[in-house]
Structure 1
Amino acid sequence: MFEIESISSNSLEDFITASFCYNILIIEDAVFSLNFKTYISSGKTMLLIGPNQIFSWISSVSQVIDIVKFDGEIYNSYFNERCTLLQGILSDDKFYMINNQCIMEEVIHIIDRMKSFHIGKSETYDIGQLYLRLIISFIFNDGTAEVINCKYSDRKSVICFQNLVESFFSENKQVSFYAAKFGMPI
């Protein structure tokens, strides 16, 4: 599975990545948070974010962001062919930030080609996998990719909150209900 979408940064408020999905985001001069830690990017920047991440757009300036979403099967196949262990390379406490402008130009060009060919449809799936592998190889072979530890120190609370919401999703509960469960004033 993979898909490409261009969305407004305003709609990325508390964007939670799926448990099976990796995400490549192309941003420019941005302030964002990942797992409640704030980061600043300068110039065109590519982020590779793993599953179960909480991404929030903080910058006051809105922009259109390209997001490439793909499942772990594509990611794993890249590493299995190279006899490299996936464990720990991109876990829920790390992400990759790439600012190398030469790499960025190539990746943006590849993503534009993927969009123009409507890659993600079933008839273009194999071509899309090749393009994604090319992007992933740029990230891991570049040597300038910054690996950032973004582990949220109180991840247990986030998981408890997710479980609470899942338990009561069919009922109309007020914010005060959830706040009371965590002993928080509203």
Structure 2
Amino acid sequence: MQQRNSDRTRARILAAATEEFAARGIGGARINRIAEVAGCNKAMLYAYFGNKDQLFDAVFSHSVELYLDEVGFDVDDLPAYAGRVFDYFEAHPDRLRLSTWYRLERPDGQPLEAIIAVNQSRLDDLQKGMRRRVVPRVFSPVSLLALIQAVATSWTSMNPEYGESVPNAIIRRRAVVVAVQKILS
């Protein structure tokens, strides 16, 4: 019984922290708000996760795990992968904001092992795809991965001044992402 309560408490803290960090970043997040939303006290939060930076690391690592479980990576069909990245972040804009905060507030921070492993795996897959000639060698693996992710998430970062020029139908925006990826791959 104790383990289940502990697991539920950790899950509530992670959910509350995900909301807080996605909305306010690491610097703007407040442990008091996270604890209040999670229904626990700050001491419990610190006991489970350590300090605020460690909590953010846990939240971001968990977010990446959820992303990988849902999106996957298929070097044999990069346009479909780009479409799944687009779909995921359309369905979970808080996760994209969390990722943006990570890049903004941790440009020179301690790298997270989970992120290093995921990126290296995808880069290795792209390199193997290039050797098998299912991925063109126009770009290096890291350049290609960066382009895929940038194109797949580009609509969410459009300036509001584009206004009516931005297709309002998700299906049309997704079609552009997939079409561009066909050009890249």
Please tell me the TM-score bracket, short chain as reference. under 0.3
TM-score by length of 2: 0.24
Q: Which structure features the higher share of strand residues?
A: 1
The structure number with the bigger radius of gyration is 2
Higher relative contact order (CA 8 A, sep 6+): 2
Q: Which structure features the higher share of helix residues?
A: 2
